[in-house]
A and B are shown apart, each in its own frame.
Chain A
Amino acid sequence: MKKSLSAQLSVTLVSLILGLALAAQFKNVQRVGGSVSLQRTQELTRQVQKLEQENEALEARIEEYERRIKEFENAVQSEGQSNKLIYEELERTRMLAGLVDVQGPGVVVTVNVKYVNEWGQDAIVQNVRYDDLLKLVNELNAAGAEAIAINDERIIATTEIRNAGDYIVINTNRYSAPFEIKAIGNPDTLEAALKLLGGVADDLGVYLQINIKRVDNIRIPKYRGTFQYKFAKPVQDTDARS
């Protein structure tokens, strides 16, 4: 009987350890499976979201094309009408490209250096840097600005804002403080986006003078530079579009 008891004890012990090991093993397998499938789920969700957004945009664009096709069809009878459509489309596209002077309500933001009194002398806290302007432009775009210019230099798709010594280069032209940023859009939204608590105006206001003024009507000039597309060509083969 004594022998049997010790055998039972040792078997119990071994089985206990085996069970623990088994549980640990299962757990590991599950954990690996779990994180992999979580990643996969996230990746798939991302792709689904992206396609949903793209399809929505495509539908809007198709609707717009349909409307314009209909307008052309209605205009077939009168030559003047179809001419008007062409000119309107040209005007709208040129507006988008920044090739037309535009006007409308919006905000004017002035950015200047701040002075502090140091040892009885006025000293500049910090120069205006390119990224200060970059952040302001980006924030205005996020708030729905339809046209922006810095010191009357129209911001277009290829506009760079870079430091070059003491200057800031915009559309390859040099500027220095003070800067005046004009933006056309909903004045309330534009102002609110900049003045958001802890927003860009607060951030930059620490070391710069930022002034935001709403205006009923501002005028933003067209892009004055030249365009040279040396490398980019329109894609001819529409099937190859991905």
Chain B
Amino acid sequence: MKVRKDLLILSFMAMLLSYFIVKCFDNQRIGYDIGVTTSVHKIQELMSQLKALQETNRQLKDDLSQKEVVLNKYEKEATERIYRGEEIRKQLEQARILAGLTDLEGPGIEVILNDRKKDTIMPDEPYSISDFIVHDIDLLEVVNELKAAGAEAIAINGARILATSRISCGGPTITVGAGQRFAPPFIIHAIGDPDALADYFKRPDSVYHILTFYGLEFSIKKLDNVKIPRYYGEVNFDYARPVEGGE
């Protein structure tokens, strides 16, 4: 009986010892467990933050559409009093569509661009990691090809592309338009002839062949109806002014 008790204590101590030895070595390596203790907290915090933001977003959109109704009414009333007012209102509507201030829908395609999956990269691959990620120039090329293929409206991750939109790199994220930063995957929607848009990427000079060669994800899906939101940012002219009497 005495021996058994000995063994029990001894084995327990030995287990504890070896566990702490591993623990000890482990603590010297930093990295993996930084988020572990805080992550649950952090995730909960982010989730509640996200929920609040979604609620605000919904309210703001409601607010905006209410104001829009009022504004449209005033504009209609004002144009009714003008000579050929109806024509002017149509022009205004058309200009807003062209300027990207209207939500649009129609047939089109969805392009998803993503970095190459980590587990598909072989250790002896003769290319660098940089070849496997989506760069700003790749998005620029894809958008440019969609325009060439006759796209009438384009959005990247819901950010409408305007004449003055830039697509630029900011570390791991890419900035689209007036400062919306996105990380991959990039979901590009375009309205236009779905066949013409999709087939453009089959051309031999398309960026599609380069990106897929390096194993990047590049999927194209034709859709019967694509909704493209308006541009939500500010639109101001600080430097440009209309040419007086310009024609």
Q: Which A positions have Cβ atoms within 8 angstroms of B?
A: 4, 7-8, 11-20, 22-24, 27, 30-31, 33-35, 37-38, 40-42, 44-55, 57-62, 64-66, 68-69, 72-73, 75, 79, 82-83, 85-87, 89-106, 130-131, 134-135, 138-139, 141-142, 145-148, 155-163, 169, 184-186, 219-220, 222, 227, 229-235, 238, 240-242
Contact = CB atoms under 8 A, between A and B. Distances in A.
A83 B82 contact: yes
A148 B74 CA distance: 33
B42 interface: yes
Contact of B36 (A34, A232, A241): A34
B237 A146 contact: yes
A116 to B, nearest CB: 26
Interface centre among A58, A68, A69, A220 (most CB of B within 10 A): A58
B152 A89 contact: no
A20 B144 contact: no
B246 A155 contact: no
Contacts of A95: 237, 240, 242
B6 interface: yes
A171 B79 CA distance: 33
A141 B164 contact: yes
A73 B11 CA distance: 86
Interface in B35-93: 35-36, 39-40, 42-43, 46-47, 49-50, 53-54, 56-57, 60-61, 63-65, 67-68, 70-71, 74-75, 77-79, 81-82, 85, 88, 91-93
Contacts of B30: none
Contacts of B40: 37
B22 A27 contact: yes
Interface residues of B, number: 117
A16 B15 contact: yes
B122 to A, nearest CB: 22
Contact of A51 (B50, B168, B178): B50
B186 to A, nearest CB: 12
A236 B56 CA distance: 23
Contact of B233 (A51, A57, A103, A240): A57
Contacts, number: 339
B144 A134 contact: yes
Given A90-B95, A159-B147, 4 more contacts: A15-B10, A34-B39, A83-B78, A138-B166
B127 interface: no
B22 A156 contact: no
A134 B95 CA distance: 25
Give chain A's interface secondary structure class: helix
B68 A102 contact: no
Contacts of B179: 53
Interface centre among B12, B227, B237 (most CB of A within 10 A): B237
Nearest to A17: B18
B22 A141 contact: no
A157 B100 CA distance: 8
Interface of B: 3, 6-7, 10-12, 14-19, 21-23, 26, 32-36, 39-40, 42-43, 46-47, 49-50, 53-54, 56-57, 60-61, 63-65, 67-68, 70-71, 74-75, 77-79, 81-82, 85, 88, 91-108, 136-137, 140-141, 144-145, 147-148, 151-154, 157, 161-168, 175, 178-183, 191-193, 205, 227-229, 232-235, 237-243, 246-247
Contacts of B78: 72, 75, 82-83, 85-86
B193 to A, nearest CB: 6
B39 A230 contact: no
A222 B61 CA distance: 33
24 contacts: A8-B6, A12-B11, A17-B18, A19-B14, A33-B39, A37-B39, A41-B35, A48-B46, A48-B53, A50-B181, A57-B233, A58-B57, A69-B70, A72-B74, A93-B96, A97-B95, A97-B99, A102-B243, A139-B168, A146-B239, A163-B205, A231-B108, A234-B103, A241-B61
A52 B53 contact: yes
B119 to A, nearest CB: 13
B101 A93 contact: yes
A92 B57 contact: no
Contact of A57 (B94, B104, B183, B234): B234
Nearest to B64: A62
Nearest to A58: B60
B109 to A, nearest CB: 11
Interface centre among B46, B165, B175, B180 (most CB of A within 10 A): B46
